Amino acid sequence: MATWDPTRYLHFADERSRPFVELVDRVDVKARRIADLGCGPGHLTALLRARWPEAAIQGVDSSPEMIERAAAGNADPAVTYTRADLRDWAAEPPLDLIVSNAAFQWVPDHLEILPRLADQVAPGGGFAFSVPGNFDAPSHRLLDELAATEPFADHTHEQAGPAAHDAATYLGLFAGRGWQVDAWETTYLHVLTGEDPVYTWISGTGARPVLQALPDELRPVFVRRFKAALREAYPAREWGTILPFRRIFVVARRPA
């Protein structure tokens, strides 16, 4: 299992946070108990607190590094952070709102898990989440192609990458259960700065399993080739490097 570096993840914190802001803005429920699934380092908890000032909030993440960072920075007595695998996690008693930002793409077969999680939402409550929809983008395609070549393939072939579905698939899953659903997608044009910024972005998220699967003597070689490929696919301008990033959003409300 890949480990996560909160500091590297937060390098582009504003860009990574924007989808969460826009997701929560579309939620229209009165929430007293909220679960943030895949909460990461807890940097977005304040947004939930501002929106629902009286709610008890539980952040859940499978990464010990992320949970440690979140707990260390927490001074809110109504916020708790829990390390758990979303495939096994359950809330007790029912929740008013489940939110999740860029987590379910890491959960294999999450279409089978979402109904179980939805059952933990109280009548009238909500389930809001976003996932990346850019797995056919050059950043991921180049990663997979390079990882499949020698001498890297022997070390990376068993690494499961992130995956997600389109908005219509998620809409159908919740609508089929009688929920009201608002589903949409957005392609952001992130303007990144710094040296090899697209590598910096993806090495904090989607590339981590591959990078960590490589032995120490091969990783620098892989990184050098990957950076070169990314620079060609995402050319730098004098004002920055454009990273198109498609996101899928779902806001669903359970019948009262």
pLDDT at 158: 72
pLDDT at 122: 97
The DSSP symbol for 30 reads -
By C-alpha distance, which of 88, 24, 37, 91 is closest to 67?
37
Q: If 0-12 CB within 10 Å is exposed, 13-18 middle and 19+ buried, where does residue 135 land?
A: middle
pLDDT at 53: 95
CATH placement of domain 6-253: 3.40.50.150
φ, ψ of residue 84 in degrees (nearest 5): -160, 155
pLDDT at 11: 62
pTM of the model: 0.92
pLDDT at 10: 55
Successive 10-residue mean pLDDT values, the chain, 256 residues:
58 82 95 96 90 96 92 94 95 92 94 97 98 95 95 84 94 98 97 94 88 94 97 97 97 97
Q: If 0-12 CB within 10 Å is exposed, 13-18 middle and 19+ buried, where does residue 182 land?
A: middle
Instruction: State yes or no: cis peptide before 151, omega within 30 of 0.
Output: yes
pLDDT at 16: 84
Query: In whole angstroms, what is the distance from residue 114 CA to residue 175 CA?
Result: 13
43 pairs with which residues across the strands? none
